Structure formats: structure tokens, C-alpha cells
Amino acid sequence: MQNDSNLNDIIVFENVSKTYQPQNDVGIKNVSFSVHKGEFLCLIGPSGCGKSTVLKIITGLEKETSGKVIKPEKVSMVFQNGALFPWLTVYENVAIALQSENVPKENIQKMAMKHIEMMGLGEFTNKYPRELSGGQRQRVGIARALAVDPAVLLLDEPFSALDAKTTDELHRDILKVWAETKKTIIMVSHLIEESAALADRVLLMKDQTIDYEFKITLPHPRHEQAADFLKLINEIRRRFFR
Ligand code: ADP
Ligand code: MG
């Protein structure tokens, strides 16, 4: 059998299906794809098509019912609302992730501050989540996810609760993080434009499986009014709504 996986693949799904008990609800069926090390991959598709199920299998929150999954041990997930502890400061919210990874005490401060500063939150170290904007909270979530040095960073519709301008800023931040850390990133989005603006490759999901793959070679920064960008958007849109 033809096998596309190779040494540069950090994640491989081969015919992976997941049914949720007790009612046998289909989460995903026969999903096959691989992710190369350092790649920025987006999963898009309508609500209920199985995007979050794919991420949950990668994190180990859910186990596949059948098929083969190869994935690294250490992955981090960024959730839509940042999922911060409201009673902890920005610093503590990041440090707690390192504590739970048993990082030696003397390294925690350095590693937490490095990532807090990378996300432009240096002056907010002692603030509580309620004192931050939605965009800042999401930056803390990203700093916390990165601080533990995961092999893969997973983001599940991370910007969908934010306004357009903040989303734009966070797109630039996440591209900066990607360039600086060379991390493999998998992001779930339901927005065609967002996925086309960020990813190397977009996997379109439909009916709980992968419907189509778009490879994107446009350089960054991508200009949303440029003709080749609009052409790409149209191509994805046609397939999305087909
Ligand atoms: P998406 O993230 O694309 O919206 P999900 O992966 O959350 O899709 O869900 C895919 C399918 O699996 C949906 O039909 C959903 O109802 C079902 N599903 C997801 N989680 C559960 C669960 N815990 N129990 C039962 N069904 C679930
Ligand atoms: Mg989802």
C-alpha cells in the first residue's frame, strides 16, 4: 500500500475513526492525514464536522475507536477563551503550567517570563484575567501553552470570541510565534479567510471526514486584497459550500 508518511511527519492519522458512547455518535470517520514538523496546518469545516475531535485525539483527551495514530507525547492546547484561572495573575497562570510539568523551581520564572514577554505581556505580569482585554487573555493562553515547550501547539477556534481588529493583531502574533519558535501548529477555524491568511495547508472537513486539501504557497504577510489571495479564498469557498 502506498504510504505517504515519512521521518518529517510529527503526526500521522491512518483511517482514524471515533464514535462517542453511549449512543455511537460519529465524531470522525476514516480520517487520514499527516503533519510535517514545523508546518502550520489549519482544519476548517462547518460546525459538527469533527475538527475538535481530531484535536482531542491528538491531545489524548479522547481515544480513537479504530485506525492508527502517531503523535508526540507533549502537545499543548489553546482554547477559545484562554481558559485562564481567574484567581491567578498572568504570571501565575503561565507558571502553573510549568509547575505541573515538574520544571525545576529555579527555571520556572525565566521560562514563564520569556513567554509572557514574547506575547507582549511584560507589563501585565501581576494583573488578573478580569483586568485584561479578550485579546490579552488569549495571549496569556498562548504564552502558557508555549511555556512548556510542546512539540505541537494546538489551537481550537482561538480567536472566534474576539473583534476583527484584535483578531488581526493575534494573527500577526501567532505568525511571529511560529517564525520564532519553529513550532508545529495545528489550528481549527471555521473561517476560510483566517485559515488562508495563516496556514501552509488547509484541510477541509465535511461529514466527519476530510473532504479536500489546499496547499498554500503564498508568502507572508498575505495581503487580503491581493488577487492571488482572493483567488485562493474563492477556491476554498467553492469547495466549502459545495
Ligand atoms: P467540530 O469541532 O467540527 O464542531 P466536533 O468534533 O466537536 O465538531 O464534533 C463532531 C461530531 O461528534 C458532532 O456530531 C458532535 O455532536 C459529536 N460529538 C462531539 N463530542 C461528543 C461527545 N462528547 N459525545 C457525543 N457526541 C459528540
Ligand atoms: Mg469544535
The answer as to whether 3 is a domain residue is no
**Ligand 1 atom nearest to 47, measured from its CA:** 4
**Residue range 52-86, pLDDT digits in tens:** 999 999 999 999 999 999 999 999 999 877 789 99
What's the total number of domains in the chain?
1
Residue 207, pLDDT score? 97
Residue 173, pLDDT score? 95
Cβ(20) – ligand 1 distance below 6 Å: yes
Tell whether the model's pLDDT for residue 129 goes beyond 90. Answer: yes
Residue 63 CB neighbours (<10 A): 9
What residue owns the CA closest to ligand 1's atom 7?
Answer: 52
pTM, full prediction:
0.95
What CATH number does residue 210 fall under? 3.40.50.300
The answer as to whether 69 is a domain residue is yes
The answer as to whether 2 is a domain residue is no
Tell whether the model's pLDDT for residue 3 goes beyond 70. Answer: no
The DSSP 8-state label assigned to residue 72 in this structure reads -
Cβ(53) – ligand 1 distance below 6 Å: yes
The answer as to whether 152 is a domain residue is yes
For residues 107-131, give the mean pLDDT: 96
Q: Residue 158: is the preceding peptide bond cis (ω within 30°)?
A: no
**Ligand 1 atom nearest to 18, measured from its CA:** 12
The answer as to whether 1 is a domain residue is no
Residue 2, pLDDT score? 43
Residue 1, pLDDT score? 41
Residue 102, pLDDT score? 85
The answer as to whether 4 is a domain residue is no
CA distances from 224 to 4, 178, 231 (A): 32, 20, 10
Tell whether the model's pLDDT for residue 121 goes beyond 90. Answer: yes
Tell whether the model's pLDDT for residue 22 goes beyond 90. Answer: yes
The answer as to whether 20 is a domain residue is yes
Residue 81, pLDDT score? 74
**Ligand 1 atom nearest to 54, measured from its CA:** 6
- What is the residue range of 24's domain? 9-241
User: Coil, helix or strand for 225?
Assistant: coil
- Mean pLDDT over each residue of the chain, to the nearest integer: 94
**Residue range 159-190, pLDDT digits in tens:** 988 999 999 999 999 999 999 999 999 999 98
Residue 5, pLDDT score? 56
